[in-house]
Chain A
Amino acid sequence: DQQVKQNSPSLSVQEGRISILNCDYTNSMFDYFLWYKKYPAEGPTFLISISSIKDKNEDGRFTVFLNKSAKHLSLHIVPSQPGDSAVYFCAASARANKFYFGSGTKLNVKP
């Protein structure tokens, strides 16, 4: 059974608008969360992370929000750009090194 779930396989957003990607997890022992971005024919690359002691982490246009009570995290991209079109994976960890990944959400940012 998957412990990290991304229920939206795809998302389409207009350039300049906000993109919101969602992720749910089931294991209450997870205390570190990450987002990875993947372009076609390339490996995933790290985007942003958040520890469970925080509820928000911001890096430029990217912000990750964590709601521990709901076991939910989200990635906000503002403003969205066509170059952001990629597959986004969320991941969670309960201890060093072992990450559990979701199935990914394909974001399409339309010019």
Chain B
Amino acid sequence: DAGVIQSPRHEVTEMGQEVTLRCKPISGHNSLFWYRQTMMRGLELLIYFNNNVPIDDSGMPEDRFSAKMPNASFSTLKIQPSEPRDSAVYFCASSTSGRARNEQFFGPGTRLTVL
């Protein structure tokens, strides 16, 4: 299995521009998570989906951030307009949901720099 796939790996953009990050979860996994890693706050959960439905978006910082999961094999995280403080590494993770606490498998991340 290829694991969780994220694109792009690096993104440099200017303030005010729209940024779209993409994620392909592991086939068969029905839960998908978007995280942001910063030096100050570590790994923060932004939003997670179960069976393509958003379950908890309480970590989404503000209305500039939105996430979609149109099907079981694809999700996007969009920032519009982007700001310098959005610079961070964004990770996507997937897992199988259920009553057990299942480990989450992370992608390699997208390093976003907003100038």
CB-CB contacts of B38-60 with A at 8 A, as 1s and 0s? 01111111001010000110000
A101 at the interface (CB under 8 A from B): yes
**Interface size bucket, A side?**
20 to 34
**CB within 8 Å of A: which B27-45 residues:** 31, 33, 35, 39-45
Within 8 Å by CB of A44, from B44, B55, B102, B106, lies B106
| Residues of chain B contacted by A96 (CB below 8 angstroms) | 97-102
A45 at the interface (CB under 8 A from B): yes
| Residues of chain B contacted by A101 (CB below 8 angstroms) | 35, 42-45
Number of A-B contacts (CB under 8 A): 66
Asked if A103 contacts B107 (CB within 8 A), the reply is no
Within 8 Å by CB of A49, from B31, B35, B101, B109, lies B101
**A103 and B42 in contact (CB under 8 A), knowing A43-B107, A44-B91?**
yes
Q: Which residues of A contact B (CB under 8 A)?
A: 2, 6, 32, 34, 36, 41-46, 49, 51, 89, 91, 93, 96-104
**A-B pairs with lowest CB-CB distance, top 5:** A43-B106, A103-B42, A101-B43, A46-B103, A32-B101
Q: Which residues of B contact A (CB under 8 A)?
A: 4, 31, 33, 35, 39-45, 48, 50, 55-56, 91, 93, 95, 97-109
7 further A-B pairs in the complex, CB-CB below 8 A; given A2-B42, A96-B99: A44-B43, A51-B101, A91-B43, A96-B102, A97-B31, A97-B55, A102-B43
